[in-house]
Structures are given as C-alpha cells and as structure tokens.
C-alpha cells in the first residue's frame, strides 16, 4: 500500500497533467479506475438527510436568521459598532469547522475607533443556516451578497474570509466585484487542481500531505458522490484535518490545538458546526473547495477594490510556496502590504471563536420516547443484513484493487468478478431504497396550510375541526381516516345531528399523510399515542370518542390495546384486516386471500415479509402490484363501483392521492401498508380484553376490500363488540346516505330527557 500511495500520487493528483519524467498510465488501469468509481457511485448509500434547524427532530433555532431568495435561512452574528452608525461594514466568512461566532478578534476599541461593523454568518449547512445541496463557489458569494442586502449594508461592503471559507471571497471577486469595497483573505486554502499552478509544484506539495489527506482530497475532486462513505469507513486512511490529527509544524499552533482539545472547545465547535449533519457542513465544504471550479482564481481580472492576502510561512495546512505563486501570478496582488507572511498565523490561531456553550438538543431529539409516549423502534433486519454484505463487498473490492495496482495481489479477472457482484448488490440496494420525505414547511417541501399541533416527540399533526364549538360540546370525537384519506374526511354525519347531540369532531392527517410530519418509526403503538397526543393538545378531556375508517382502524385496535382508559367509545367502519392474524381460521383466511388479484396478494406478501422492499416493488413495472393504489379493480357493490368510476373520471381520485402523498408516497401509503399488513408482534385484535367502553363495528356485506366472513369471525370471537352488518352496503360507508348519522347516533348515548 505504501508503494502504491507514494508512487502514484503525482500521476493521480493534477488532473491528467504530467511532467516529462512521469510514467505513462496503462489503459487497463484507467479502465478499472473508472469501473471502480462507477461501482462506488452505484453501490453506496447516499448520506443521511440533514436535520434542518427548526424542523421536527432538528436542532432549535437560537440565532438571528434572514431568509434568502431561494427560501433558505442564514444565521448571523453581529459585532463592533451599531450597523447604522458604522463607517465600514464587513461580512466575515468562517473557515472549515467554524461558525457565525468566529471573527477577526479585533478589539472593541479598534472597532469603535474606526467605526467598524462586522457580521459573521454560518455558511450553508453549518450551525443554524439551512443546508444547500446545490452549494458552489458561486452560491457562497451570492449568499454573502444577499446577507448584506438583507441587513442594509449598502451598495458596497468589505468581505473577509478565513482558511477554507476564502472560497467565498474568491467567488465574490469573480461574481460580485462591483459590490466590494475591499477584500481580505487569511491563510486561504488552495485547490491543488487549479490550472494556474505548475503541475510539478502542485504534485510535490500534494504528496507531502498524509496519505489520508491525499485520498480525501482525491475523492472530493474525482468522486464527491462517495465522500460521505469514504470519510465514514475505517479501513483506509481519511482526512487528518477532520480528525484533528494533522501535523502542525508551528509550535504555537500545536500548543493552541492541545489547549482547545483539552478544554473541549474544539469538540463544542465541531458539534455546533455539524449539528444539522456532517455531510452538509464539512463534506460539502470539501467537495466545493477541492472539486471542479468554474474559474481559476489566478486568471481573475483585477477587481475595482484592494485585496489583501495574509499567509503564515509555517502554515501546516496551506503550502506557502503555492500561496506565493497565487499572489505572484495575480499582478494586482503585489502591493507591499497585500502579501504578509506571519510565522504564527496558522488556521486555528487567527479567527477562532471564543468558547461557547453547546447548543441545546432539539425538543424532538431529547424527548422522543420520553414520559408515557415511548415510541416503538422497528428494525428491518433484512435491510441491515443486506447493507452489511454490501459493506463487506466494498472492503473486498478496495483491498483487491490496492493489491492488484501495487502488483502484489489478485488477478484482474478475480477483481472484476468481485466488482461485478458488488455492483449488482449495490444496484439492488439503490433500487430498493425509497427517497427521503419532503416534510411540510421545510425548504423544498410543501407549504403548511392547516392548523397543526406538536407531538411530544417533536412531530406535527395537521387537523381539521367540525361540528359544534369544542368548548360547548357534550361529546368530543377523534376521527382516523382510511387509506389514501386525510384530515378533510369524516363519517359525514349531518350538521343537524352534530348540533342536536352536541358533537365536536376533529379529523387529522395520520403520520406522513397530508401535512402531518412523517414518522419513520410508525407502528401500531405510535398510531394510538398520536391520537392521545392530539386529544391532549386540543384539551378534549380525560375521555373522548374515537371513530376509525377502513385501514385507519388499526389506530382503533391499538387505542383499545394501549390507551383504553382514555376512550369513552369506539366505532370502526369497515376495518381492514390482516390475513396473517393468528386468531383467524387459517384455511378460511388463505382461501379468501387467494381470491384477490395476484398484484394485491404479492403487495400484501411483500408488506409482511419484506417491508423494506415495498417501495421498489410498488414502483417496478414488470410484475403486477396493488389494484387498490391505482384504483383499477372493480367493486362488487354498485354504489362503490359508481363512486370509483366517477372519482377516476373527474380526477378526484388522483387529486386525493396527490394531497395524501405530497410528502412522499413511502411515508404515507407504503408505511400504512407495512404497519397494517406487517407483523403484529405485540398483540392481535382477537386477543384483546374487553375495554371499559362500548365498541361498535360497522361492516357492509358487499364489501370488495374487507371480507365479511373474516369480520364476522373476529366479532364472534370478541363477544364484547357490537357488530352491525349492513345489507347491500359496500366498503365506503361514509358514501352511503344517512349512514354517518346512524354511526354517530349509535356511538353516542342519547341525551337524558327532561
């Protein structure tokens, strides 16, 4: 490995440029390298989604923030004299691992004497500024411009950058030079692939780095899509800068690092910088700084403002010889004070932030699972095993590639076989992985238009109210909608009946539906606890009634199991069943199960045995899938069929589906299927004990979705259920005229006569 890394570095570093003495790279080597890069891109998982500040489960917003034109927020911190009375206004771009609290550390006396106002900001993805998946050198410059405009800094302002944050200053000199009154860069990090560098000099400086740093920069430049995985693996060396183990030749730098490490300052800075995710802060920084630039800083024209560049000649991160070349090549950087070599101005010394307390954890992160509201964690053992296998294959491929390239290991054919296997498994992993949800109210997500309440785990539930005023109601009813439904659904009881009985009703988008936040740990238990949390947030009292429809009735069964003491009564309308409940007659359940279409059988089978595969299965076009989701199966009941055809023809069916799945079909439809038709490990309805409240079950005898024979069996086995079988009625009970009034009147006791 030493021979490979040491000998190949110059050839691999400088984007194809070679000196006269460099060996010519053999074509098969390049072919395998391309195959390896393709393999990694196909097989590796994407980085985890960021935990955006101010969103459910994300860190809280504690800083002042401004909104950018693309909807993102930038957090900022002001210092110096008041903005309105300042003579000079400066925007400061922090370095790698930094934050808005970093600054030049100019004394307050100097700031007041000169009339200096300074604003530092968390660059995109750092601290409390929203991540920007499209971050680039250009966007970094435009972020500074928008911040200056939002704060009213005037037509021109000064920019100062530190270390890796200087890419924003180079971007400003390229894209907004007309807005700059002056620019200063402190120990600006260089990109070894800038075309203006001499190839041999850049390669020589690059090769002086630790092997882990060489590979981290190489991956950042050539394969940024695998950087998150590369930095997370522990088999091969990675960045010493991220690990804070870089050799520092300057004694003061080394002493400062030891002191900041000992008192925990560096760790607190790291936690603050990466609290939304290390990928959108550190690793995005690396791909922008060491990736492919749209321009070469050494080819920039002279800007209409002075530019100062400060560099320490004992800098352990930025080679001073390359910095001299940059300043020398830019003729407008040759004024006497513009290139200042200071022996003790290494990265962590100059503008490090003062120690600050660690930001508090987000409410969702600190309280999830606390108190009575313990959420169930579901683990997909099949998916975990598959990802473990992919990790092993990756390791084998990397090890074989290194052995082969160094001339000490396996044959090319064996390596290619291993790569092909890993590629196939990697393709499968990528194919079956569902896309992340787009929660309402987050950047890029749908807007929030409905009233919402905050759950104890930090999520939000959207709801809609109907009936009489909540404070005057005799009966308070919570409604759990069915598959593809939403908060606007209800039993369709008339307003006259609701007012006569004094009924207040609240319907809500179940987790992941409509405008309610997704719950990746959704389970039967969490469905019941969501109902309880909603009732408590709205002040419905110690007891309330619960009405559930179709697939949403799993929340009713779960409420009877987990919160029976909170229920005044329960009504379930054509509740969907799980064919694998042990309490059902096996022969009858199997017989009825096989009457379904092949696509529906397989969809339910996948939901039970391999829920992690469900998203891919429902999306693939080669084999039949669920007819319920696409609305293609006719219903035996005349009214159901009429409503199905009408909903498809007037677009209502697809409109409801779009509203229900606007945050992602995985967290609404497919998560519903996995919960309802998955393993009911903690209980089954046929095992439930009689609750301290009446329970009513309404079932049509022409239901084309729920077999009436199995429903009868459940109700016979549970003698305490009040079973109402409706002759000539199908599945959609709320569409039957007058049936909503009957259900509500049956559930609620009659008012006492005077």
> What is the rounded average pLDDT of the residues 244-266?
89
> What is the rounded average pLDDT of the residues 725-739?
94
Tally Cβ neighbours within 10 Å of residue 448: 14
State the burial class of residue 716 (Cβ atoms within 10 Å of its Cβ: 0-12, 13-18, 19+). Answer: exposed
pLDDT at 3: 31
Band of pLDDT at residue 396, cut at 50, 70 and 90: low
How far is it, in rounded angstroms, from Cα 285 to Cα 279? 9
Lowest mean pLDDT among 3-17, 92-106, 149-163, 552-566: 3-17
β-bridge partners, 503: 475
- The residue behind tokens 């909608």 is 481
How far is it, in rounded angstroms, from Cα 420 to Cα 42? 11
The angle that helices 708-717 and 586-593 make with each other, rounded to 10 degrees, is 160
How far is it, in rounded angstroms, from Cα 611 to Cα 669? 12
β-bridge partners, 696: 571, 722
> What is the rounded average pLDDT of the residues 697-725?
95
* Residue with more model confidence, 234 or 227: 227
How far is it, in rounded angstroms, from Cα 169 to Cα 148? 14
* Residue with more model confidence, 420 or 272: 272
Output the CATH code of domain 44-363.
3.40.50.1820
How far is it, in rounded angstroms, from Cα 423 to Cα 396? 12
**Parallel, antiparallel, or unpaired: how do β-strands 73-80 and 544-549 relate?**
unpaired
pLDDT tens digits, 680-692: 998 999 999 999 9
β-bridge partners, 116: 88
Whether residue 12 has pLDDT greater than 70: no
* Residue with more model confidence, 43 or 559: 559
State what percent of residues in the chain have pLDDT above 90: 66
Which runs of consecutive H residues, i.e. helices, occur in 406-454?
412-432
Is the four-CA dihedral 535, 540, 544, 547 of positive or negative sign? Answer: negative
Domains 44-363 and 452-581+682-747 share a fold: yes
Query: What is the model's pTM?
Result: 0.53
In angstroms, what CA-CA distances link 272 with 242, 265, 398, 437?
14, 11, 33, 25
User: Nearest Cα to 508, choosing from 541, 469, 482, 475?
Assistant: 482
| End-to-end CA gap in the chain | 93
How far is it, in rounded angstroms, from Cα 225 to Cα 223? 5
CA dihedral 606, 607, 608, 609 (to 10 degrees): 40
Would you state the CATH architecture of domain 452-581+682-747? 3-Layer(aba) Sandwich (3.40)
Whether residue 357 has pLDDT greater than 70: no
User: Contacts by 539-542 with C-beta closer than 8 Å and gap 24+?
Assistant: 539/470, 540/470, 540/476, 540/478, 540/506, 541/476, 542/566
pLDDT tens digits, 451-494: 999 998 889 999 999 999 999 999 999 999 999 999 999 999 99
Interacting residues of 670 by C-beta distance below 8 A, sequence separation 6+: 434, 614, 615, 618
Band of pLDDT at residue 225, cut at 50, 70 and 90: confident
How far is it, in rounded angstroms, from Cα 369 to Cα 387? 27
The angle that helices 2-13 and 211-222 make with each other, rounded to 10 degrees, is 40
The full DSSP string for 354-395 is: PP-PPPPPPHHHHHTT-TT-PPPP---HHHHHHHHHHHHHHH
> What is the rounded average pLDDT of the residues 247-255?
89
The three-state secondary structure class of 398 is: helix
Domain boundaries, the chain: 44-363, 452-581+682-747, 593-677
pLDDT tens digits, 493-533: 999 999 999 999 999 999 999 999 999 899 999 999 999 99
- The residue behind tokens 């009504």 is 571
Whether residue 751 has pLDDT greater than 60: no
pLDDT tens digits, 321-334: 999 999 989 988 64
- The residue behind tokens 């329970």 is 695
């Amino acid at each position: 490995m030493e021979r490979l890394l040491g000998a190949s570095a110059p050839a691999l570093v400088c984007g194809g440029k070679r000196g006269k003495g460099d060996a010519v790279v053999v074509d098969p080597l390049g072919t395998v390298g391309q195959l390896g890069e393709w393999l990694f891109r196909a097989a590796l998982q994407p980085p985890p989604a960021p935990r955006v500040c101010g969103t459910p489960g994300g860190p809280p917003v504690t800083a002042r923030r401004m909104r950018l034109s693309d909807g993102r927020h930038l957090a900022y911190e002001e210092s110096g004299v008041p903005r309105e009375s300042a003579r000079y206004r400066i925007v400061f771009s922090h370095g790698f691992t930094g934050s808005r609290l970093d600054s030049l550390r100019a004394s307050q006396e100097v700031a007041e004497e000169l009339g200096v106002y300074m604003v530092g900001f968390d660059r995109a993805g750092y601290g409390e500024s929203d991540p920007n998946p499209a971050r680039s050198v250009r966007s970094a410059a435009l972020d500074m411009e928008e911040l200056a405009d939002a704060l009213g800094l005037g037509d021109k302002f000064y920019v100062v950058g530190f270390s890796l944050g200087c890419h924003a200053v180079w971007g400003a000199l390229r894209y907004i030079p007309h807005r700059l009154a002056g620019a200063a860069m402190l120990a600006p990090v260089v990109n070894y692939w800038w075309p203006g560098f001499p190839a041999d000099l850049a390669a020589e400086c690059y090769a002086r780095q630790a092997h882990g740093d060489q590979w981290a920069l190489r991956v950042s430049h050539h394969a940024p899509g695998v950087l998150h995985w590369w930095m997370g693996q522990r088999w091969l060396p990675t960045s010493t800068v991220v690990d804070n183990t870089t050799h520092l030749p300057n004694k003061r730098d080394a002493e400062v690092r030891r002191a900041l490490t000992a008192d925990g300052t560096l760790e607190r800075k790291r936690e603050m910088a990466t609290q939304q995710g290390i990928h959108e802060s550190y690793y995005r920084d690396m791909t922008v700084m060491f990736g492919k630039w749209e321009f070469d800083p050494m080819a920039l024209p002279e800007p209409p403002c002075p530019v100062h560049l400060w560099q320490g000649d004992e800098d352990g991160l930025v080679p001073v010889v390359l910095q001299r070349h940059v300043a020398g090549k830019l003729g407008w950087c040759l004024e006497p004070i513009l290139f200042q070599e200071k022996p003790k101005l290494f990265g962590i010394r100059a503008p490090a932030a003062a120690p600050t307390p660690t930001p508090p954890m987000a409410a969702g992160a600190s309280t999830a699972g606390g108190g009575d509201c313990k959420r169930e964690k579901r683990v997909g053992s099949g998916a975990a095993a598959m990802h473990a296998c992919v990790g092993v294959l990756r390791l084998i491929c990397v090890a074989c590639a290194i052995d082969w390239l160094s001339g000490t290991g396996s044959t090319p054919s064996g390596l290619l076989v291993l790569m092909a296997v890993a590629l196939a498994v990697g393709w499968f992993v990528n194919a079956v992985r569902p896309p992340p949800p787009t929660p309402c109210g987050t950047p890029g997500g749908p807007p929030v238009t409905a009233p919402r309440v905050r759950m104890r785990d930090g999520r939000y539930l959207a709801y809609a109210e109907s009936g009489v005023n909540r404070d005057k109601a005799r009966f308070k009813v919570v409604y759990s909608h069915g598959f593809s439904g939403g908060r606007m659904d209800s039993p369709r009881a008339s307003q006259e009946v609701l007012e006569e009985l004094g009924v207040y009703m609240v319907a809500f988008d179940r987790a992941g539906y409509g405008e309610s936040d997704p719950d990746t740990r959704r389970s039967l238990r969490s469905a019941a606890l969501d109902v309880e949390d909603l009732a408590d947030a709205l002040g419905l009292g110690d007891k309330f009634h619960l009405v559930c429809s179709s697939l949403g009735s799993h929340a009713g069964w779960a409420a009877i199991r987990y919160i029976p003491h909170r229920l005044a009564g329960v009504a379930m309308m054509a509740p969907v069943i799980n064919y694998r409940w042990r309490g059902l007659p096996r022969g009858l359940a199997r017989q009825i199960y096989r009457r379904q279409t092949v696509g529906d059988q397989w969809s339910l089978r996948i939901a039970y045995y391999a829920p992690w595969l469900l998203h891919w299965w429902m999306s693939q076009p080669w084999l039949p899938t669920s007819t319920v989701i696409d609305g293609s199966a006719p219903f035996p009941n005349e009214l159901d069929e009429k409503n199905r055809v009408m909903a498809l023809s007037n677009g209502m069916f697809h409109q409801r589906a779009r509203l229900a799945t606007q945050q992602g079909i995985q967290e609404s439809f497919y998560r519903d299927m996995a919960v309802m038709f998955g393993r009911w490990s903690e209980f089954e309805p046929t095992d439930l004990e009689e609750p301290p409240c009446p329970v009513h079950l309404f079932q049509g005898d022409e239901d084309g979705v729920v077999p009436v024979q199995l429903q009868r069996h459940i109700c016979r086995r549970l003698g305490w259920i009040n079973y109402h079988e409706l002759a000539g009625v199908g599945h959609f009970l709320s569409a039957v005229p007058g049936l909503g009034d009957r259900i509500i009147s049956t559930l609620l006791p009659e008012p006492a006569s005077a």
